[in-house]
């Protein structure tokens, strides 16, 4: 199997896993979201530590622990990641799977906005049209539901800001996740011990299946991230950009057809605005990359 096919396989596997993740959290619906989050933080570090030990890959840690800037960056990214995880787990188990899918549909457009604000990237005209179309969809949903789709926006912006921090970070995906979970580990463990002392812990008290699923939350977190990192190195950003819509599409289908969440005509119209925006955005991105590849070298240098 060549690199391209392996990259497609890895990336598709990652997005399929993320798309089916609501099924995992729904199986833990009897456990409060904050407790699930604490287990996810705790067991993720254990899983990542096993991978690092298997590779004998520990040398980076000493230099990182002595670098205040890196520690501050990854503390901030860890806090954003934990906020995103908590909101997602809570929303899924509170029957808002469809709205979580909206968050990850608009996430690529939020990334463009963040790039414009923080990295001074310039929008191309068609990208502006896509953003305005998506904004119209969010406004339509807000007017018809009487509230902002805050779950979707919270997920999109927390993950977008997380990605912005990781974009400027020096560590690989595995090293970065290890440092983030290291930052989160002690508070999470102390909270789990507190729940145990209070007699409110689910682990080892709510059945073997629940305990096993809580313990495997680390693997459920780390495996898709590692698959994604492996796939992203082997395939183009164009292909990756198309594949990324697998996850929210699966989430949307699960919410509507498996968990019977309400999909009113007004809500569907709002989603259609966002889907049209994504088609415009993805099509413009593909056309721009193809034009850049066809341009002579001097034209590329002047872009």
* Mean pLDDT calculated for residue range 245-254: 95
Token pair belonging to 83? 């906020």
Q: Are 14 and 220 in contact (CB under 8 A)?
A: no
- Dihedral, CA atoms, 218, 219, 222, 226, nearest 10 degrees? 170
Q: Report CA 140 to chain centroid distance, whole Å.
A: 25
pLDDT at residue number 182? 94
Closest CA to 245 of 133, 126, 106: 106
Q: Which of 47-51, 171-175, 211-215 has the highest mean pLDDT?
A: 211-215
Phi and psi dihedrals of 123, rounded to 5? -85, 140
Higher-pLDDT residue of 115, 208? 208
Q: What is the DSSP letter of 196?
A: H
Work out the angle at residue 98's Cα, subtended by the Cα atoms of residues 94 and 101, and round it to the nearest 5 degrees: 115
Q: Is 117 exposed, middle or buried (0-12, 13-18, 19+ CB in 10 A)?
A: exposed
Token pair belonging to 84? 């995103």
What confidence tens digit (pLDDT) does each residue in 265-282 have?
A: 999 999 999 999 999 998
pLDDT at residue number 303? 39
Q: Is 67 left (phi over 0), alpha (psi -120 to 50) or beta?
A: beta
Token pair belonging to 156? 């999109």
Q: What is the DSSP letter of 122?
A: P
Count CB atoms within 10 A of the CB of residue 195. Answer: 18
Q: Report CA 45 to chain centroid distance, whole Å.
A: 18
Give the residue extent of every domain in the chain: 3-301
Closest CA to 106 of 265, 260, 288, 244: 244
Instruction: Answer yes or no: is pLDDT of 106 > 50.
Output: yes
pTM: 0.90
Q: Are 17 and 222 in contact (CB under 8 A)?
A: no
Q: What is the DSSP letter of 30?
A: T
What confidence tens digit (pLDDT) does each residue in 136-163 have?
A: 999 999 998 788 999 999 999 999 999 8
Q: Lowest mean pLDDT of 124-138, 223-237, 248-262, name the range.
A: 223-237
Instruction: Answer yes or no: is pLDDT of 301 > 60.
Output: no
């Amino acid at each position: 199997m060549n690199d391209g096919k392996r990259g497609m396989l890895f990336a598709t596997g990652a997005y399929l896993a993320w798309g089916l993740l609501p099924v995992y959290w729904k199986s833990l619906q009897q456990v409060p979201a904050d407790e699930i989050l604490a287990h996810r933080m705790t067991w993720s570090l254990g899983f990542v530590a096993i991978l690092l030990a298997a590779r004998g890959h520990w040398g980076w840690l000493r230099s990182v622990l002595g670098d205040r800037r890196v520690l501050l960056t990854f503390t901030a990214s860890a806090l954003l990641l934990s906020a995103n995880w908590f909101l997602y787990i809570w929303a899924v188990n509170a029957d808002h799977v469809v709205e979580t899918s909206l968050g990850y549909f608009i996430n690529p457009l939020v990334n463009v906005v963040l790039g414009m604000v923080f990295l001074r990237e310039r929008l191309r005209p068609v990208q502006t049209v896509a953003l305005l179309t998506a904004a119209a969809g969010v406004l339509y949903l807000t007017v018809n539901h009487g509230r902002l789709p805050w779950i979707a926006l919270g997920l999109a912006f927390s993950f977008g800001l997380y990605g912005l921090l990781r974009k400027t970070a020096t560590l690989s995906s595995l090293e970065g996740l290890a440092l983030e979970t290291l930052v989160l580990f002690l508070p999470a463990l102390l909270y789990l011990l507190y729940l145990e002392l209070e007699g409110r812990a689910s682990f080892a008290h709510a059945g073997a299946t629940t305990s096993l699923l809580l313990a495997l939350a680390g693997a459920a977190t780390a495996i898709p991230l590692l698959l994604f990192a492996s796939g992203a190195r082997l395939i183009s950003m164009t292909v990756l950009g198309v594949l990324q819509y697998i996850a929210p599409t699966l989430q949307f289908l699960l919410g509507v057809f498996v968990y019977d969440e309400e999909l009113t005509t007004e809500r569907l119209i709002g989603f259609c605005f966002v889907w049209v925006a994504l088609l415009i955005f993805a099509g413009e991105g593909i056309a721009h990359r193809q034009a850049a590849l066809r341009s002579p070298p001097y034209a590329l240098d002047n872009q």
